[in-house]
Amino acid sequence: MNRKIIELGNNCMVMSLPIKWIQKNQLKKGFELSVNENKNNLIISLSESVKKPKTISIDIKKTRESGIRTNLVNLYRIGYDKITVTYNGRKKDLEEVVSKYLLGFEIFTKSKNTYSCETVSEPSLENFRIILDKSFFVLKEILRNIGFESIVSEVNTLQKYDNFLKRILSKKNTVELTELPLWQFLSNMTQIAIQCKHLEEYLSNKKLNESQKKQFQYLLEMFEVLHKGYLQKDSELLIKLHLMDQEICYTKRKKILSEKDPVISHYILSIARLIYLASSPLIAVIQAEKTES
């Protein structure tokens, strides 16, 4: 739809708002709207003080943890503030998922088999970069400690950060070039952590041999390049990961797979590949930020 700009006084221009949009959002005189500039576009949306909580009701059949997690995490990621859940299983199942994966949410009992998962103390949207920075350091600890001490807590933390950062992207009023590649990059980071967790579970009472320890040191060096490229916004540095990936996943592939335990070798190659794949969306984010600046 088109709207004409009307001059009001010497230094002011005004534009009317569509009446259907006003009625739909129950706007009244004096309400504040959020106006954001994105290149040649002005994006007008409801301000936080006017917005109503985004709510939904779902029915979860009795299932295992992953079934509950898939339902709640994805609704949380796309911006719902209150999720009413009908569930015939144990409340503890829901509580564990909310506690582990939904940063800033708590669960309350409404009635028998009906619960409310809702936001109570979410970090502000301005904390996006802070939490993204923390994600790098948490993943670095995971790579450094695998085979030496438990990484379960760190993996859970990274998953919680991933979900919250994606929630921020979903709730933003503006659409930017960086959003899709950034979402993909976050998924790559989490998949690296999950592969490490699976490897730790497989190791159980086993230990990495000296050759495998060196390979993990190489993985850590790859991740250091990824982190440095992010910090310095240097896409040229990230291209270095193409050569590092070729070294471990192609040149040394046969040698690594000939190790005594090929399962460990599989995880090493898988993690290396994921670090390399994370560089591509990160390069897109850096290039988009330079374009928009």
Residue ranges covered by each domain of the chain: 6-46, 55-119, 125-292
pLDDT average, residue stretch 59-64: 91
pTM of the model: 0.83
Mean pLDDT comparison of 2-6, 22-26, 36-40, highest-scoring range: 2-6
pLDDT average, residue stretch 86-113: 94
Quote the CA–CA distance of 219 and 153 in Å, as a whole number. Answer: 21
**Predicted confidence band at 36 (pLDDT cuts at 50, 70, 90)?**
low
DSSP lists the bridge partners of residue 115 as: 85, 109
Quote the CA–CA distance of 81 and 24 in Å, as a whole number. Answer: 19
> Is 55-119's fold the same as 125-292's?
no
Q: What is the pLDDT of residues 107-149, one digit of tens each?
A: 999 999 999 999 988 767 778 999 999 999 999 999 999 988 8
Q: What is the pLDDT of residue 173?
A: 59
36-40, 69-73, 150-154, 169-173: least confident range? 36-40
Which residues are CB-contacts of 213 (< 8 A; sequence separation ≥ 6)?
147
Residue 81 · residue 55 · CB < 8 Å: yes
Q: What is the pLDDT of residue 290?
A: 79
Q: What is the pLDDT of residue 41?
A: 67
On the question of pLDDT at 228 being above 80, the answer is: yes
pLDDT average, residue stretch 187-212: 93
More confident of the two residues 48 and 203: 203
On the question of pLDDT at 40 being above 70, the answer is: no
Q: What is the pLDDT of residue 92?
A: 94
Q: What is the pLDDT of residue 15?
A: 78
- Which alpha helices (H) appear in 25-78, and where do they start and end? 65-77
Quote the CA–CA distance of 196 and 133 in Å, as a whole number. Answer: 20
The burial of 131, by beta-carbon neighbours within 10 Å (0-12 exposed, 13-18 middle, 19 or more buried), is given as middle
What is the fold, at CATH topology level, of the domain defined by 55-119? Translation Initiation Factor IF3 (3.30.110)
Q: What is the pLDDT of residues 229-249, one digit of tens each?
A: 999 999 999 999 999 999 999
**Predicted confidence band at 24 (pLDDT cuts at 50, 70, 90)?**
confident
Q: What is the pLDDT of residue 142?
A: 96
Residue 166 · residue 121 · CB < 8 Å: no
Q: What is the pLDDT of residue 293?
A: 59
Residue environment code for 61-96, b if the CB has 16+ CB neighbours within 10 A, otherwise e: eeeeeeebbebbbebbbeebbebebebeeeeebbee
More confident of the two residues 205 and 258: 258
pLDDT, mean over the chain? 89
Compute φ and ψ for 237, nearest 5 degrees: -65, -40
Look up tokens 């199942």; give the residue: 93
pLDDT average, residue stretch 204-228: 93
pLDDT average, residue stretch 9-15: 76
pLDDT average, residue stretch 152-160: 96
Letter for the amino acid at 7? E
Percent of the chain at pLDDT exceeding 70: 90
pLDDT average, residue stretch 208-216: 91
Torsion of CA 235, 237, 242, 243, to 10 degrees: 160
Quote the CA–CA distance of 98 and 104 in Å, as a whole number. Answer: 9
What is the fold, at CATH topology level, of the domain defined by 125-292? Methane Monooxygenase Hydroxylase; Chain G, domain 1 (1.20.58)
27-41, 70-84, 159-173, 257-271: least confident range? 27-41
